[in-house]
Amino acid sequence: MPEEMTCPQCQSPMSSRRVGDVTVHQCSSCQGLFLERAELAHLVEAETDYHRDTGPVTRPMPRITPDMVAPPPAPPSTRSYIETLFH
């Protein structure tokens, strides 16, 4: 695979970067991601690991108190491991 890739969508240069065990190529302009099939499998595995201990089932419910006027702020968390690629 060549080091320098060009975005198929906007023709901007794509930079490669390590994410965990895989290398992804991200467009510097439109943030498009390119990855190989094997790399996607790695990311799916990482996604599963990411959720293993953070699922809503194991997360304690917020305590409801009589003087509560608004829902407690949601804990800051990304919705998926894949989303962390775009930060």
Q: Give me the count of residues in the chain.
A: 87
Q: Could you give the CA distance from residue 23 to residue 39 in angstroms, rounded to a whole number?
A: 7
The contact pattern for Zn ion, residues 10-29, with x = CB under 5 A and - = no contact, is: x-x--------------x-x
Is 7 a binder of Zn ion (CB under 5 A)?
yes
Which of 30, 41, 44, 68 touches Zn ion (CB under 5 A)? 30
Shortest gap between Cβ of 78 and Zn ion (angstroms)?
22
- Could you tell me where the DSSP H helices lie in 11-82? 37-52
- The dihedral sign for the CA sequence 11, 13, 18, 21: positive
Residue 32 near Zn ion by CB under 5 A? yes
For Zn ion, the closer of residues 23 and 47 by Cβ is 23
Q: Does 33 bind Zn ion (CB under 5 A)?
A: no
**Planar angle of CA 6, 24, 83, nearest 5 degrees:** 115
Positions that interact with Zn ion (CB under 5 A): 7, 9-10, 12, 27, 29-30, 32
